Amino acid sequence: MPRKKRRNKFRQFTIVALLCTGALVLWLYFNKVAEFFSMDRETNFTLYPGFGIQIPNGYAIHGIDVSRYQQQINWPMVKQMKEKDVRLGFAFIKATEGIRYTDGSFKRNWRKARENRLTRGAYHFFVAYRDGKKQAEHFINTVNLLPGDLPPVLDVETLDGTSASEMQKNVKAWLKTIEAYYHVKPIIYSNASFYNNYLHDQFSNYPLWVAHYLEPRQPRVSREWKFWQHNEGGRVNGIYGFVDFNVFNGDSTEFSAMLVK
C-alpha cells in the first residue's frame, strides 16, 4: 500500500509539472505575440497616398535615388511635389559602374536636379573584383562636384564571386582615391545584411547610407547612419515607375554640414 501511494504522488507530481510547463509555454507564446503587436503599434509610420507608401515619422529631410531605370524624369514636377508635411529635399543619382560604364541618364539628371534646386549626390555602383582605384578614376572623370552637392557615394552590395578580403581591398582603394581628389569623406551605401557581414569592422568611420526595407523602427546596424533607404516602391510626380525613398538622420544644420564646400 505505501508503494501505491508513492506511485500516486509521483503521478500527481508529474501531472502538476506538465501543467506548469504547459502554462509557462503558453505564457511565453502569448507574451511574444503581445510584444510583437506592441512593437507594431510603436512603429511611427504615416501613409502618404500620393507617394504610395508609408514614410517613417520624425525625419525632416526626405529624398530619392534614381538611375536610367526611371527613364526621362520631369525634375520640375519632382521638386514641386508635396504631400502633407513631406517634400523631397535631395536626390542621389547613379553616375558610374565598374571601370567603364556610365549611366545613360546621368548627365541629364545631374544637370536638371541642380537647375531645379534639388540637392544632388552621385553614386558609383561597385564591382567587387575590379580594381578600386580604376573604378574611382572612372567616377572622377565623370562627376564634377560643386559646392552644395552631397559627397560621392560608393554603392557596394555584392562580392561578385570574389573573396571578402579582395572586395575590401578594392573598396579601400576607391574610398582613398575619391577622398584625396574631392577632399570630402565619401558615403558608403549598402544593405544592412551585407554591411554587417562584410564592411562593418573596417569602414565604420565613413558615413553610412543603409538600405533596410519593411523594418518597423530603423535600420538594424550597430552604428550611426546618415541615410536610410526605407522603401523601394514609392511614387513621385514626374517619375516613371517606382522609386526608392530615403530619409536623412538629422536636422537641416547637420544636412548642410555634410555638403561639399
Number of neighbours of residue 169 by Cβ within 10 angstroms: 14
Please choose, from the candidates 154, 160, 196, 191, the residue with its C-alpha nearest in 3D space to the C-alpha of residue 176: 154
What letter does residue 60 receive in the DSSP assignment?
Answer: S
HSE-CB of 136 using CA atoms within 13 angstroms: 18
HSE-CB of 200 using CA atoms within 13 angstroms: 14
Please choose, from the candidates 97, 52, 91, the residue with its C-alpha nearest in 3D space to the C-alpha of residue 74: 91
Rounded to whole angstroms, the Cα distance separating 73 from 112 reads 9
Contacts of 83 (CB under 8 A, 6+ apart): 48, 49, 50, 51
| Torsion on CA atoms 75, 76, 79, 81, rounded to nearest 10 | -110
Single-letter amino acid code for the residue at 183: H
HSE-CB of 237 using CA atoms within 13 angstroms: 12
Residues annotated as catalytic (active site), given as ranges: 157
